[in-house]
Structure 1
């Protein structure tokens, strides 16, 4: 990869959900790319629609016209990428059925390297409801749905992921590698992952694995809500239909074995 292309991609990579707007000085300092080079790249990205200059006020933060943010070109490209996930049209009818049964948010995530990416959702119709953006990234070790993928990765990959520092996102985020390994053991035994206040305070989720034709887990399905609506002692009310949906989706992805979790395991383990 040429140095210019690498610098350009590194520059784009700093625009995150946590810090979506950057000034020229900040970009140059953070990336180590000289200001003249930064300015040239920024102008090119603005011209092509990948970045735009931002001028507005949001939650007391004034964006003054000298800051840059991601442009609509990324939304267009994101929609193209999302369209390549063949699982979405397969999973959606089952997700819709779950939403109609429980009237809670139903989410589908895919593994992307060491993260989970939310690729589809069906919202609750309740006046006050949980909202998660499609395209959101989450670490595989935190949150029920991402961890339902992590639990079924090869052991060496799990160790590689957990050897990196664990970020604390909310009060109940797993604090240590040992914490996550214990949760993984429980997921494999029980067939589901549960989280409460791990990625966001006051939100809970139940996630189950989806198996592909080779028996690997690249996707997971979850129901998510506020902690008061999805307490741990009510897991058995939700997990059976989640397993049934995950089993049907797995079958359509070419998984030719009986889904390894079901009513008998629910009775014995929950």
Structure 2
């Protein structure tokens, strides 16, 4: 268990994890799992059936179970996000250096953006966000930026008809959210103006990989007084350029990338 984590547990989840660990070693039948893990057959069957529905495991023609493609998707997303964190970190640090902003890096997991890195700027305010935390797709700039890589139909399928509203400025309709996503597609950055929390604004931008697909997004978060509306376009361009530099480092060749002063100096006289 991770250091500092309280010893809470969910029995059914503990059993499912035990089953997955056993299947990671070899293909096993229900009887094998029952004998090896000392689990009731009924419980084992219910857990296996649930895991199979989500493609986390698969049943072989011989009646045994093995890990499924769902596990591979998790693994690939984990490794992709870890590589991305290492690549993106220097760019995030430069973006918020000597500025009262906090920078977040996020990936889309299911229907929500999830933070996979966070860099604090020089401001006195520290936002209570953390790596692994998810944000609403329609109430976050990282969510809007990630949604720009989806089709409108896919976006509709991810959002409920009755959308949660955290503040008076929250987006309440799918059509309005689609307008915000179109703004990202046309301008390259997203604005979240006190839609999730009053007094807090964010500007985000999509990050692309070598195929041109949007695989992540970054954002700066600030108090409204430190990010006035008159600066949206200027700061938006800075955030967009940072996302473009990260995209370049991930192998993306498209887009107009302008090097920052700091990076240009570090490149010396390279052509």
TM-score under structure 2 length normalisation: 0.63
RMSD: 3.1
Paired residue for 1:230? 227
Q: Which residue of 2 aligns with 1:128?
A: 125
Instruction: Indicate whether 1:150 and 2:154 are aligned.
Output: no
For 1:162 and 1:130, the matched residues in 2 are separated by 26
Aligned to 1:200: 197
**2:162 and 2:172 in contact (8 A); partners too:** no
Deviation at 1:8, TM superposition (A): 1.8
Bigger CA radius of gyration? 2
2:175 maps to 1:178: yes
Specify the SS of the correspondent of 2:92.
helix
Q: Distance in 1 between matches of 2:226 and 2:79?
A: 30
Aligned partner of residue 258 in structure 1, secondary structure? coil
Aligned equivalent of 2:67: none
Is the Cα contact below 8 Å between 1:210 and 1:218 reproduced in 2? yes
The residue that corresponds to 2:83 in the other structure is 86
Q: CA deviation at 1:150?
A: 0.7
Q: Deviations over 1:224-245 (max 9, x none)?
A: 1111211222113312322221
Which has the larger share of strand?
1
TM-score under structure 1 length normalisation:
0.63
Partner Cα separation in structure 2 for residue 90 and residue 236 of structure 1:
26
Partner of residue 34, structure 1: none
Between the two proteins, the alignment pairs up a number of residues equal to 193
For structure 2, the residue ranges without an aligned partner over 5 or more in a row are: 1-9, 17-42, 44-77, 260-271
Task: Detail structure 1 runs of 4+ shifted over 4 Å in the superposition.
Answer: 81-84, 259-262
The equivalent residue for 1:240 is 237
Other-structure match for 1:249:
246
Evaluate the alpha carbon distance shift between residue 189 and residue 260 of structure 1 in structure 2; reply closer, same or farther with a 3 A threshold: farther
- Equivalent residues of 2:190, 2:236 under 8 A apart: no
| 2:100/2:226 contact within 8 Å kept | no
What whole-Å deviation, never above 9, does each CA across 1:122-141 have from its counterpart, x for those lacking one? 11232234332111101222
